[in-house]
Amino acid sequence: MNLAEVKKLIEEFEIRSIDLKYSDLMGNWYHISFPARRLEYVLENGISFDGSSIPGMKSVESGDMVIIPDLETAIIDPFTEFQTLRMLCYICDADTRIGVQKDPRSVAKRAQRFLENTGVADQSFWIPEFEFYLFNEAVINNGKFRAGYHFTSAENKNDLPGGYQDLDGTAVANRKGYHIDVPFDKYANVREEMVNLIEDIGCPIRYHHHEVGLSGQQEIETEMVDFEKITDKMMYIKDIIHNVALENDLTATFMPKPIYDEAGNGMHFHIQLRKNGKNIFFKEGNYADLSEEALYFIGGILQHGRSLTAFTNPSTNSFKRLLPGFEAPVKLFFGLANRSAAIRIPKYVTSFDAKRIEFRTGDGTCNYYLAMSALLMAGLDGIKNKIMPTPENGFGPFDDNVFAWSQEKQDRLKSIPTSLEEALEALKDDYEYLLAGDVFNEELIESWITEKMKEVVAVRNRPHPFEMNLYYNL
């Protein structure tokens, strides 16, 4: 969308306000609004703000930054009371107007430019899978003398909201929620409302359904979309999910493991590279019809898998989902249709155009711009250095259930970290592949580790409610 098209949109819908949004390192959104009549001035000059007030962004002594709107991201805001145009921004230095090293959108832009400069491919296409819970109530308390949480769901007979009596008997128990049908899938229409709004912003949806978790777990999966577009669309999708939930008296969470001993929320990424419009991941006759480039790409992700989790699984809660024996993968190998693998090759995808890989380790607490850029950089490093995944180096392919192997054989496989702190330590030891093409830089990585370690320490220093069961009366 160019300036003329945006102006036409403003006139047609009588828009008087423009809302600009930008992301911090963690993936939190911030916004600032201005009258639509000032659009051309803002496009030329940006809007200044104090970067030192945004966690991890910049130091106090050099805090002046500007946000520059990206016209390509303009949409009509579906949730505001007044007609508002929404746009995403680049965070730029006040003097140069160039996207700063720590701006997540600028990182993704540099990753795309680096991909093109390698000559290997000129596009990457992605399918993200959004898994999330819809709860009726989410009561959270944390203080010196009280700590705890309480989630409820009208779908689960063992988890009903206060005062809800299930008089129609449609709350169920003692079964999994995967693809459960209406009327037991109580929020199918809520998902449909979300999907309609997502498609309205130009992001095609492949399907949506109830997920395994009986207390309102959902999944929405997009079709294959170009990297440059999907990262922005994903920010809008997450916002749509949260807002539609609230409008329906529900609350949405992408936490990897909000409920003990219930299904966790992952975010699987399907990835494909193309050059001149042709899929370079397909070669008939190879294992799973994967080309050498695809295998090298897989090898790069697996080689750097431990440090990648610092970006793809960047919460202390992430590692409560990544437990041995479940579909959430903890071993760094690949295989055809193998749901215990970090990288699965979908068996149902057989055509030249559709052939792709699926990275299954990530979750929705990641910053999409950073996590997906890091995955792209790791895969390209694999192609550059011809890192071929083989059974001998422990990367596979393995098509059987590795958790049925002997413990000695399992121990030969490379494992993902078991905690956020361990993932950050892995990133300290392995980040050179991220620096290629100045996509990431050391200052960003250092800031990421610093900010994330604050979360590690905050959780580590607080008594856990279950510790009361274990130790209170000793």
Per-residue HEC secondary structure of the chain comes to: CCHHHHHHHHHHCCCCEEEEEEECCCCCEEEEEEEHHHHHHHHHHCEEEEHHHCCCCCCHHHCEEEEEECHHHCEECCCCCCCEEEEEEEEEECCCCCECCCCHHHHHHHHHHHHHHHCCCCEEEEEEEEEEEEECEEEEEECCCCEEEEEECCCECCCCCCCCCCCCCCCECCCCCCCCCCCCCCCHHHHHHHHHHHHHCCCCEEEEEECCCCCCEEEEEECCEEHHHHHHHHHHHHHHHHHHHHHCCCEEECCCCCCCCCCCCCCCEEEEEEECCEECCECCCCHHHECHHHHHHHHHHHHCHHHHHHHHCCCCCHHHHCCCCCCCCCEEEEEECCCCEEEEECCCCCCCCCCCEEECCCCCCCCHHHHHHHHHHHHHHHHHCCCCCCCCCCCCCCCCCHHHCCHHHHCCCCECCCCHHHHHHHHHHCCHHHHHHHCCCHHHHHHHHHHHHHHHHHHHCCCCHHHHHHHCCC
Query: Spelled out in words, what is the top-level CATH class assigned to the domain 3-99?
Result: alpha beta
Pick the catalytic residue: 5, 11, 40, 50?
A: 50
Residue 61 has pLDDT above 50, yes or no: no
Read off the pLDDT band of 141 (50, 70, 90): very high
Q: Do domains 3-99 and 101-122+276-474 have the same CATH topology?
A: no
Residue 302 pLDDT exceeds 60: yes
- pLDDT for residue 60 is more than 60: no
- Catalytic residue chosen out of the listed positions 86, 191, 242, 268: 268
pLDDT at residue 208, as a whole number: 98
Is residue 339 annotated as part of the catalytic site, yes or no?
A: yes
The answer to whether residue 326 scores a pLDDT higher than 90 is no
Q: Which one of 131, 185, 293, 363 is the catalytic residue?
A: 131
Q: What is the predicted pLDDT for the residue at 159?
A: 94
The second-level CATH assignment, the architecture, of 101-122+276-474 is 2-Layer Sandwich (3.30)
Q: Does the pLDDT at position 205 exceed 90?
A: yes
Average pLDDT over residues 414-423: 97
Catalytic residue among 77, 129, 239, 289: 129
- Reply yes or no on whether the pLDDT at 380 is more than 50: yes
pLDDT cut 70: percent of the chain above it: 98
Q: Which of 16, 37, 38, 339 is catalytic?
A: 339
For the whole model, what pTM was predicted? 0.96
Residue 274 annotated among the catalytic residues of the structure: no
Could you tell me which residue, 62 or 231, shows the higher pLDDT?
231
C-alpha to C-alpha distances, 422 to 71, 180, 302, 407, 456, nearest whole angstrom: 40, 37, 17, 22, 10
Catalytic residue among 159, 211, 239, 289: 211
Query: What pLDDT band is residue 54 in, cutting at 50, 70 and 90?
Result: confident
Q: What pLDDT band is residue 59 in, cutting at 50, 70 and 90?
A: low
Identify whether 131 is a catalytic site residue. yes
What does the pLDDT look like over 349-359, one tens digit per residue? Answer: 999 999 999 99
- What does the pLDDT look like over 391-408, one tens digit per residue? 999 999 999 888 888 989
Any catalytic annotation for residue 211?
yes
Mean pLDDT of 197-222: 97
Q: Is the pLDDT of residue 290 over 90?
A: yes
- For range 277-301, the mean pLDDT: 97
User: Which one of 24, 219, 262, 363 is the catalytic residue?
Assistant: 219
The residue from 159, 232, 358, 421 that is catalytic is 358
> What is the per-residue pLDDT across 64-86, written as a single tens digit (0 to 9) for each?
789 999 999 999 999 999 999 99
Q: Would you state the pLDDT for residue 62? A: 56
219 part of the active site: yes
> pLDDT tens digits for 17-39?
999 999 999 999 999 999 999 99
Which of 105, 242, 344, 360 is catalytic? The answer is 360
Confidence grade of residue 63 (pLDDT, cut at 50, 70, 90): low
Structural domain spans, the chain: 3-99, 101-122+276-474, 132-219+229-257
Mean pLDDT of the chain: 95
Cβ pair 220, 127 in contact under 8 A = no
Residue 325 — very low, low, confident or very high, per pLDDT cuts 50/70/90?
low
